[in-house]
Amino acid sequence: MNWSNCYRDDKLSQARISVSDMQKRASQLYNALMEKRCNLTQKLNEGVHNVALLQNELISDYLYDWKNRQKLQQVGVPFKERDRMIDEIQTEFEMLAEQNWQLRTYTCWQMDLLRRGPQISGHVAQTANLNSILDNLTKLLCMLVSQSFIVATQPEPVLKTQHKFLAEVRLLIGDKLGIKQHLVNTNVTVRIIA
C-alpha cells in the first residue's frame, strides 16, 4: 500500500511538473505571438507612412511640375519630354497603387487572423490599430485615384465659338486597379469657364 501511494505521488508530481512546463511554454508562445503581432502592426504603420510620403512627393512635386510645364507649353515654352515625364509619373502612380493594395491585403489578413484566433488581451487595441491603418490606406488610395485623372493634352488657350477642340484625358492608374477596362466607352464632360 505504501508503495502504491509513493507511485501515485510520483506520478502526480510528474504531472504537475509537466503541466507547469506546458504553462511556461504556452506563456512563451503567447508572448512571442504578441510581440510578432506588435511588430507586424508597426511595420504596417511604417509602410503606410512611407506610401504617404512618396504619394505626397509624387502629387505635390512631380505631377504639379508636369502640369505647370504643360501650362507653359501652351504659351510657347518648349516641353519636349512631356510624354516621357507623364509615362514615368504613371509608373510611379501604378507602383504606389500596388504598394497600397499589398499593405491593405496584409492588414486584412491580420484582421482576419485576429477575428478567427483566440480572444486574448490586447485584441481590441490590435483591431483598432489595424482599422486605423486600413482607414489611412483607403484615404491614400482615394486621393491617388482622384489625382490620377489628368488632362494629358490641353486644348488651345483661346477657344473660338462654334469650333471643336481636342483634349485628351488620361487615367494614370487604371491598369493596376482594373478600372481601365470599364472605361472603354466613357464620356468626359467639359465645362468651359469664361
In this prediction, the residues of the chain whose per-residue pLDDT falls under 70 are 1-3, 158-159, 174, 176-185, 190, 192-194
- Is position 180 within any domain? no
C-alpha cell at 5: 501511494
- Is position 182 within any domain? no
- Is position 38 within any domain? yes
What total of structural domains would you count in the chain?
1
- Is position 159 within any domain? no
- Is position 166 within any domain? no
On the 0-12 / 13-18 / 19+ scale of CB atoms within 10 A, 155 is: middle
Q: Range of 44's domain? A: 2-147
pLDDT for the residue 59: 96
Measured distance CA(13)–CA(113) in Å, rounded: 37
**CATH number of 111's domain:** 1.20.1050.20
Residue among 133, 135, 141 at smallest CA distance from 110? 133
Measured distance CA(65)–CA(150) in Å, rounded: 13
pLDDT for the residue 194: 58
pLDDT for the residue 2: 67
On the 0-12 / 13-18 / 19+ scale of CB atoms within 10 A, 151 is: middle
- Name the amino acid, one letter, at 168: E
- Is position 162 within any domain? no
- Is position 63 within any domain? yes
pLDDT for the residue 113: 85
Span 19-45, pLDDT tens digits: 888 888 888 888 888 888 889 999 999
Residue among 148, 154, 145, 4 at smallest CA distance from 79? 154
- Is position 104 within any domain? yes
pLDDT for the residue 168: 81
pLDDT for the residue 108: 94
Q: Grid coordinates 466607352 are at which residue?
A: 185
Measured distance CA(89)–CA(60) in Å, rounded: 12
Measured distance CA(93)–CA(75) in Å, rounded: 28
